[in-house]
Amino acid sequence: MTMPACRVARPKTVEEAVRILADSGPEAMIIAGGTDVVPNLQMKLFTPRVLVDIKPIRALAGITMVAGGALRIGALNTLTEIVDSPLVQSNYPVLVSAVATIAGPLQRNMGTLGGNLCLETRCLWYNQSYFWRKALGGCLKKEGDVCHVAPGGARCWAVWSGDSAPALLTLDAEMEIAGPRGSRRLPLAKFYRNDGIYRVALGRDEMVTAVFLPARTVGRRGLYHKLRIRDSIDYPLAGVAVALEVDRNGVCREARVAVTAVNPAPLLVNEASEWLVGQKYSPELVERVAQAAIRTGKPLTTSASTPVYRRDMLRVFTRRALEEAWKNGRD
Amino acid sequence: MNKELIRLKVNGEVHEVAVPPHKLLLDVLREDLGLTGAKRGCDDSSCGCCAVLVDSVAILSCVAIASCYQDAEIVTVEGIAPPGTLDPVQEGYALAGGAQCGYCTPGFLICTKALLARHPHPTLEEIRVALSSNLCRCTGYMQIYESVQLAIERAQAREAAKPAPVGR
Amino acid sequence: MASHSHIGKPLPMTDAPGKVTGLGKYADDLTVTGMLYGKILHSVHPHARIRAIDTSKAEALPGVKAVATGKDAPNPYGILPIGHDERVFALDKARYIGDNVAAVAATSAEIAEAALDLIDVDYEPLPAWFDPLESMQATSNWIHEQKPGNVEKEYHHEFGNPEQAFAESAFIREERYYAGEVTHAAMEPHSTLAIWEPDGRLTVHSSTQVPYYLHRTIAEVCEMPMSQIRIIKPLVGGGFGGKSEVIPLEVAAPVLAKKARRPVKITYTREEVFYAHRGRPITIADLKVGLTREGKINAVAARVVQDGGAYCGYGPVTVLYSGALLGALYDIPNVRYDGYRVLTNKPACGAMRGHGTVNVRFAFESTLDQLAHDAGMDPVEIRRRNLLKAPCITVNGLRVTSYGLPECIEKAAERSGWAEKKGKLPYGRGVGIACSHYVSGAANPIIRSNMPHTTVNIKVDRDAAVTLFTGASEIGQGSDTIQAQIVAEVLGVKMERIKLVAADTDLTPVDLGSYSSRVTFMAGNACLEAAKNIRAQVFAAVAKKSGCDPAVLEARDDFIFSTRDPGLRMNFDEAAVAAIDFHGALVATGTYAPPEEARGGKHKGAGVGPSPSYSYSAQVVELSVDTETGQVRVHRIVAAHDCGKALNPLTVEGQIEGSVYMGLGQALQEEMIWNEGRLMNPSLLEYRTPTTLETPEIESIIVESNDPEGPFGAKEAGEGSLAATIPAVANAIYDAVGVRINSLPITPEKILAALREKEKQRGGKVARSNGGRR
Ligand SMILES: Cc1cc2nc3c(=O)[nH]c(=O)nc-3n(C[C@H](O)[C@H](O)[C@H](O)COP(=O)(O)OP(=O)(O)OC[C@H]3O[C@@H](n4cnc5c(N)ncnc54)[C@H](O)[C@@H]3O)c2cc1C
Ligand code: FES
Ligand code: FES
């Protein structure tokens, strides 16, 4: 497998990067760590004319406390840097728990948070070589007009397979996005479009510059459970992140549950906050939320395990994650 | 495709090579610099055979576009010890069975080197995690752990054998 | 007996320096001036007639130097003389998605890839066969016209009187087992560099376990005399059987090189490695085992269907091994076996570590566990009651010369704490035991002949360097080291003195190759013979020079000395020169061919299974099952292996652990997933070999039964342990949660479904366990 020929632009500033993106239109593609882009390029899933390498942009890295107590994580911070960061560890345990499960240490050393949040959606019928897809005749997402997962449908179900996004959803994270008209903020929950092809709300001339974790979510007890076959080098087959605020009396004051790898977007389980806030722990309550999680998650045959099993595990993992966060969390 | 002249600092030496701008670091090392120590084992960056150090961090050279790493200190397996000598890590793998067919070995050596630079005395669990993006099909990993342990002992022994610094 | 200097020592591998410095060369590391890059065009159809191929556009692409199709090399080949059904490029039909249709050599890999897209192939798709049970019912559209009904081969064996024995059995179990398809996934993708020499010869560097078969095949396909072809095996990054027959690129590169009159290198992508495959076939085994009240296995009957893929390969050998080794591990007087090798439109299967024995062993040892349960007997005890008494000949004619299985069972049980654990661990945690065995090389060669299976030459020069010329193929298993150890031991010299020239057909005599775990036993014996010959010549010269009787001489630590006269002492350098002066040259040849008595019975198919000796293994697995997710966590595997004599305990342990690891992968997570002949997971990301994190502690125990015919008593160590791991896992799962999974891999999903089924049958909830989750 070879790389498709293309130019590589190496902007030094965000403005310059955005300008190149704007000038090159659909022919340009951002590359950060490259752990998603490069394998995809070799499979000829994309054939950009120019790769915009954003690694030289120094301003895009740095984990810092900003005014008001929010935490800013740069788009270029690597996953390893996030896991190793004392600031993240002590304030946002759910994020560490999730990021530590991504791929393996070598990929985490290269992969960036920005890249992880802008990952391509994945599907067994899509993430294949040029030859393989040719033998298949393509699919809805690429080179064809049939979805092999849901034949007859007009929608692509390629699945969101990132691990950090669900954790960040439970922390009410915001994206900082730069474009030709300057910078804007967007709640992460609004960033994803739940469409296998048009996965994120990002203009062709825009880029993610940072993620903000608000001060109000500091210290939320949380953790991430990931279904996978191997304990390393494995994308999630389903994943659940939970973050709770529990008061001294064991009453839940805030709650978020988010699921990943079961839809074209990472999604918050909306009922969770509604049902959990004001409540004390009970097995029935937790089971009810777990049931809600499997109404949110709609896995199809996009990956190795069956949809039935992935749904089942979503329920078990949601229940377990809630139990553990509730009981073992620190105050 | 037009070629571009790039400068890479590999194993302490600066190389100037003309390569297509999108060429992968792994391919530049192997094809243009003749450093065939780093290997290709997979198509999708999932095996770890191609690991090299970039500014002391272990990365996958099959993911890196060479022209994007021009300011970095790159170290390949050929460069982890001065020519004609072996690093304790290499001794460990050679003596304790860590290299059977040897194809995964450069990747393991690089990751072990990076681990020991940060944690000279890792626990077994830390070793397992640090090596968990390197696949080995031969060893079942047991003798790899033993190789790492031996490397630690050898490094310690070397440290101890160093002449004591003069003065205080 | 005097203690050894090198034998039995945990010496590092002789080729380790090249491997740890990155300076050792594997096939893809090689380049030569003017080298072209070859790429192969693969079929996009599982079964299609090829009406026409137009290569003109590809040929016109600048940078393209040669395009080859089936017409350029129409001669058929195959590893078995009865199975010459492959061609380097399909001539008439493509038989699986990924089959080889044409190839391009160009000045860069990018150009070669682009040229593939310019080749027009006119296909006429044909109905295809994917399911082996359906395929063997086919009445038309056969995959090979000469194989009616898509059955490559079938064998029917009966020994003793199984019918009567079943009638007399107190307990009988009949079960169907299924094993998914697995592949070697050696870390090195195949690579071949074929150099067209200026004098019209061909030099081929290739990642192979069988350089001599490759030599023959290239000669046949390229229509060149073997004398004009040289095969060199560089370092090989793992084989496990995947490089033990000729792989298409190994012929495609020479064909292109000959056509372009230039060097051509082809290196497979990982995806192509999956299409080249030759792994372990999908196996459907219907097994029936009968047990007497006393716990003696008195009959076994098996019907085994193997889904061999589109070409013969080693297929008939695989299906014969399954039958021959099914009953021969224990003392079983009555055996019936019906084996079918079926063709389907998928990549060809072949030999993979534990060749032919693994899937039936899973079936057998799982069934035996159930029978132990039925008879109220401990699984260790039931195995004790069914042991062979070596030396003996099994009911199907296999000669057993040494049998360390009893000790393996006792040691594995003891070291794992079996007695304290079996049936006594909390719900969710369990232990399981299983055994296996394997051949130390096949007693009969693939191509019938009377030539030795191995020949080695030793040459000692005036510099007193000892050079061993051996055809044996080091592929990471340590065979170079073992051979050097044997020679150094016999000659009483330091290891550093031994130089090894290996697997280069211009320089080294024929060795059949690295398969069926034959190298230590066979090449080892040949080395022993050659080295003894050299030693005798040296002793003769020393005796002559010092006027003593050669019978009093001994060699050790680089010295020749007399056991009688302490003053007589000569260093090896001097002694070697004396011997050269005395004999004119100091050279010797050693050979090995298995003895006539080891070659098996006379029935059809009796040639496969016989071996000069067998290795044995017993394993205990301890694991936990999470009953809500079905996930398994293996805590520890204790594996005792009888390798006769551990010539090098370090490499033996490495082989045991590697085998167990591979068995564990097949047991729990590896499987090639098919959809209409399409491989859904042709990558190391989706074909999930275990990482460090799922691989448990493996404790290897060496058992030494000292085989009377092995070199220094040695037998095989590289394959025999694999098969036991899988049923030991299955049996441990049963011990943990009381469900039996008869289908591989044992995924969490299957366990969960079985637990729910059990729950339903009991009409209530079963106990819950989180599998010791932290
Ligand atoms: C073997 C393997 C296993 C993996 N397993 C997992 C896993 O388990 N979980 C998981 O979540 N991921 C996994 N990944 C994917 C990947 O490693 C990570 O998601 C990583 O964080 C991606 O970051 P990157 O910087 O390498 O992204 P890149 O590959 O550089 O980019 C990814 C995508 O994001 C875009 N992009 C990157 N940065 C920006 C930005 N700042 N603004 C806008 N767009 C941007 C790119 O254009 C591209 O579309 C795996 C990858 C591999 C190779
Ligand atoms: S070659 Fe496999 S990870 Fe780089
Ligand atoms: S030593 Fe062969 S793959 Fe690791």
**A84-138 confidence digits (pLDDT tens):** 999 999 999 999 999 999 999 999 999 999 999 999 999 999 999 999 999 999 9
Q: What is the pLDDT of residue A153?
A: 86
Q: Does C628 touch chain A (CB under 8 A)?
A: yes
Q: Which residues of C touch A101 (CB under 8 A)?
A: none
Say which CATH number the domain at A93 has: 3.30.465.10
Q: Are A176 and A37 members of one domain? A: no
For residue C422 the two structure tokens come to 């079996």
The CB of A36 under 6 Å from ligand 1? The reply is yes
Domain at B138, CATH number? 1.10.150.120
Q: Which of C589, C562, C590, C558 is nearest to C576 (CA)?
A: C558
- Tell me how many domains chain B contains: 2
Tokens for C164?
């009567």
Are A62 and A43 contained in the same domain? Answer: no
Residues of A in contact with C680 (CB under 8 A): 124
At which of A173, A192, A216 does a domain end? A216
Ligand with the closest atom to the CA of A34: 1
Q: Which ligand is nearest to the CA of C239?
A: 3
C-beta of residue B66 within 8 angstroms of C-beta of residue A53: no
> What is residue A329's predicted lDDT score, i.e. its pLDDT?
53
Is B102 in contact with C23 (Cβ distance < 8 A)? no
Indicate which residue's Cα is closest to atom 5 of ligand 1: A103
Give the count of domains, chain A.
3
pLDDT score for C769: 76
Structural domain ending residue among the three candidates B25, B56, B79: B79
Flag if B24 and A38 touch (Cβ within 8 Å): yes
C-alpha Rg value of chain A to the nearest Å: 20
Instruction: Say whether both A203 and A67 belong to one domain.
Output: yes
Which residues on B lie below 8 Å from A10 (Cβ)?
A: 67-68
Asked if A295 and A202 sit in the same domain, the reply is: no
Eight-class DSSP state of C293 = T
Point out the residues of chain C with pLDDT beneath 70: 1-2, 764-767, 771-774
DSSP state of C149: G
- What is the reported pLDDT for C379? 98
Last residue of a domain, which of B79, B97, B119?
A: B79
pLDDT at residue B71 in the model: 87
Check CB contact of C188 with chain B, cutoff 8 Å.
yes
Mark which of B24, B55, B79 sits at the end of a domain.
Answer: B79
B138 and B94 share a domain?
yes
Cβ-defined contact of B46 to C685 (cutoff 8 Å): yes
% chain A with pLDDT above 90: 95
DSSP 8-class letter at C447: S
**Maximum CA pair distance of chain C?**
91
Angle between helices C722-737 and C649-668 (to 10 degrees): 50
C454 close contact with B: CB closer than 8 A: no
* Atom 3 (ligand 2) nearest CA: B45
The overall pTM is greater than 0.95: yes
- Asked, colleague to colleague, whether C16-22+451-592 and C31-126+187-238+243-276 share their fold, the answer is no
Is the minimum distance from the CB of B70 to ligand 1 under 6 angstroms? no
Nearest CA to ligand 3 atom 2: B101
**Distance of CA C730 from the midpoint of ligand 1 (Å):** 37
Contact status of C17 with chain B (Cβ, < 8 Å):
yes
Q: CATH number, domain at B32? A: 3.10.20.30
Please give the Cα distance from C47 to C382 (Å, whole number). Answer: 48
In what helix (H) or strand (E) does residue C175 lie, and over which residues does it extend? strand C171-179
More confident residue, C746 or B2: C746
Residue C684: which of B47, B103, B129 has the nearest Cβ?
B47
- Residue C722 in contact with partner chain B when CB distance is under 8 A: no
Least CB-CB distance to C690: which of A2, A230, A304? A230
What residue numbers bound the domain in which A88 lies? 58-118+159-216
Architecture of domain C282-443+600-762: 2-Layer Sandwich (3.30)
Q: Where are the domains of chain C?
A: 16-22+451-592, 31-126+187-238+243-276, 282-443+600-762
Residue C236's pLDDT is 98
- In this structure, the answer to whether residues B21 and B59 fall within a common structural domain is yes
CATH annotation of C31-126+187-238+243-276: 3.90.1170.50
Residue nearest to atom 4 of ligand 3 (CA): B136
Please tell me the predicted confidence (pLDDT) of residue C771: 65
> Which residues does residue A50 pair with via DSSP β-bridges, in sequence order?
A7, A28
Phi-psi region of C148 (alpha: psi -120 to 50; beta: other; left: phi over 0): beta
C-alpha B126 to ligand 1 mean position (Å): 25
Q: What is the pLDDT of residues A49-91, one digit of tens each?
A: 999 999 999 999 999 999 899 999 999 999 999 999 999 999 9
In whole angstroms, give the CA distance from residue A240 to residue A226. 7
Query: Cβ neighbours of residue C730 under 8 Å, at least 6 residues apart?
Result: C362, C365, C366, C369, C432, C434, C667, C740, C741, C742, C746
Q: Is A110 a member of any domain?
A: yes
Identity at C243, one-letter amino acid code: K
To 10 degrees, what angle do helices A307-328 and C748-762 make?
A: 90
A90 inside domain: yes
What residues flank ligand 2, with Cβ below 6 Å? B 40-42, 45-50, 60, 62
- B93: confidence class by pLDDT, cuts 50, 70, 90: very high
Domain-embedded: residue B31: yes
Q: Give the up-direction half-sphere exposure of residue C107: CA atoms within 13 A in the CB hemisphere.
A: 5
pLDDT of residue A302: 87
Residues of chain B with Cβ-Cβ distance to C239 below 8 Å are 101
Question: A216, A238, A262 — which closes off a domain?
Answer: A216
Q: Classify B2 as helix, strand or coil.
A: coil
Clarify whether residues A203 and A319 are in a common domain.
Answer: no
Q: What is the CATH number of the domain that holds A33?
A: 3.30.43.10
CA pair distance B12, B33, nearest whole angstrom: 13
Residue B136 lies in domain: 88-161
Size of interface A-C (CB pairs under 8 A): 63
Pocket of ligand 3 (CB under 6 A): B 99-105, 136-139; C 187, 238, 476
A300 lines ligand 1 (CB under 6 A): no
User: DSSP readout, C520-558?
Assistant: IIIIHHHHHHHHHHHHHHHHHHHHHHHT--GGGEEEETT
Q: How confident is the model at residue A331 (pLDDT cuts 50, 70, 90)?
A: very low
* pLDDT tens by residue, A148-194: 999 888 899 999 999 999 999 999 999 999 999 999 999 999 999 99
Mean pLDDT computed over every residue of chain A: 96
Pick the atom of ligand 2 nearest to B133's CA: 3
- Residue of B60, B86, B103, B149 to mutate for C, most C C-beta atoms under 10 A: B103
Q: Which chain A positions have a beta carbon within 8 Å of B21's beta carbon?
A: 6-8
CATH of C16-22+451-592, one of 2.40.50.140, 3.30.365.10, 3.30.160.20, 3.90.380.10: 3.30.365.10
Name chain C contacts of A136, Cβ cutoff 8 Å. Answer: 678
